[in-house]
Structures are given as C-alpha cells and as structure tokens.
C-alpha cells in the first residue's frame, strides 16, 4: 500500500504540472492576440485606398461661322472736268478792230440769259430730182404701144411650146438716149428674153420724150407676155 501511494502522488503532480503549462500557454496566446495591438494590426492586410484622379474636360469647340465678304464698292463714273475756256488773244496794240468785225461779233454772241437756238442746216437738193410720175407713166404707155409692131414670136419657141412673161428695165439718160437696158425678170427662155429686149430698143426712137422729162434721168419697167394662144401681133401680147 505504501508503494501505490507514491505512484498516484506522482501522477497527480504530473497532471497538475500539465494543467499549469496548458493554462500558461492559453494565457500567453490570449495576450498575444488581444493584448498586443501591433500584432493584431499586422495580421490584417493593408488595403491602400485607390487614387481618384480628376481632370477638367475642355468644351468642344463650335464650328466657326463663315466669314461674310464685305460688299463690293460701287464703281462710280469718273466726272470729267469741265473744259477750260482759253481766254481770247488780245488784239495787237495799235490795230483797232474794224466796225464791221465788231458788229458781226456782237450779232454772233448770244444775249446773256438767252438760250442758243439750234441752227438749221439746209438740205441740199437732190442731184437727180425724181421725175414727174405722171409723165413717166404716160411715156411708158406710148413706148409699149410702139413696140407692138416689133413683137415676134420666135419659131424655136413656137416649136417647143415655150411661153412666159418678160420684164425689161430701161434707163433713159438726161440726154434722152437709152443709158442701159436689161432683163429684170426673165421668162426662163433666153430666146424670148432677147426678143423682148430687141423690140423695146427698136421702139424707143419712135416715141418722143415729154417736155416735163427733158434733161432728167428716169427708169421704165416694161412687160411683155408670150402666149401661144394669143397671136404674136395681138394687142394682148404686151400689157402696160
């Protein structure tokens, strides 16, 4: 029995020592966790706050308004300077102006305040005045009547049934002679045109010029008609 008691006593002592060691360890850990603030803070991860960057945004530039061109200056016509009147040359000393020249100058100069009247230029008379229309028409009818005796219908025109009208232009000079004669409007057949010219030229000397036309130049237009249905010597062959 004495041997059992020391063994139990030893076990009890060892158990109490273990309990003391465990309690001391727990106390040490509690002090480390809660008693030391630096150790607790060291365990927490440090999270640095993010930097907030602020910047100013410039407003968007508006499009520039189109430039308005200034109006073009209005060109004004240049004013012509008034013509300068040259002073009249003085008369030579010792030579007085003649009374006639003084009178002409006084009449030529307009009175002060009076408007100058426009000068009328006389119209020069025509070099060749128009002949009396009645006399010309009378002479034309007489010439047509005289030409009837010389009218011939050419054989070649009759064989080919050629017909037509011929207008002859005859100019009578101031000397009473034929200045020129030509076909103004032809018939389309040269043989008929030539016959009309021939008959009027042959009839001209037979008709005297009226006294109202003497010494004057005038123009006649004479017409001849060539028609196979009309006799070559009939009055209808020539019309005024």
Mean pLDDT of the chain: 71
- pLDDT attached to residue 120: 54
The pTM score is 0.44
CB neighbour list of residue 48: distance below 8 Å, 6 or more residues apart:
none
- pLDDT attached to residue 113: 47
- pLDDT attached to residue 25: 81
Using 70 as the pLDDT threshold, list the residues of the chain that sit under it.
1-14, 34-131, 231-240
- pLDDT attached to residue 240: 47
- pLDDT attached to residue 181: 94
199-209: pLDDT as tens digits? 999 999 999 99
- pLDDT attached to residue 10: 63
CB neighbour list of residue 239: distance below 8 Å, 6 or more residues apart:
144, 223, 225
């Amino acid at each position: 029995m004495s041997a059992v008691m020391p063994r139990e006593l030893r076990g009890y002592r060892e158990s109490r020592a273990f309990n003391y060691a465990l309690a001391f360890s727990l106390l040490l850990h509690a002090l480390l966790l809660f008693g030391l603030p630096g150790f607790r803070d060291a365990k927490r991860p440090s999270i640095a706050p993010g930097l907030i960057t602020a910047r100013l945004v410039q407003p968007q530039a508006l499009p520039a308004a189109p430039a308005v061109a200034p109006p073009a200056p209005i060109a004004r016509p240049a004013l012509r300077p008034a013509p300068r009147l040259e002073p009249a040359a003085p008369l030579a000393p010792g030579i007085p102006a003649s009374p006639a020249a003084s009178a002409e100058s006084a009449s030529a100069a307009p009175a002060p305040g009076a408007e100058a009247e426009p000068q009328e230029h006389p119209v020069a008379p025509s070099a060749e005045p128009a002949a009396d229309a009645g006399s010309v028409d009378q002479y034309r009818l007489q010439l047509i009547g005289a030409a009837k005796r010389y009218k011939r219908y050419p054989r070649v025109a009759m064989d080919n049934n050629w017909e037509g009208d011929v207008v002859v232009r005859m100019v009578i000079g101031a000397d009473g002679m034929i200045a020129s004669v030509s076909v103004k409007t032809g018939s389309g057949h040269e043989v008929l045109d030539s016959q009309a010219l021939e008959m009027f030229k042959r009839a001209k000397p037979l008709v005297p010029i009226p006294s109202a036309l003497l010494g004057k130049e005038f123009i006649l237009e004479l017409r001849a008609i060539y028609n196979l249905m009309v006799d070559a010597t009939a009055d209808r062959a020539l019309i005024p």
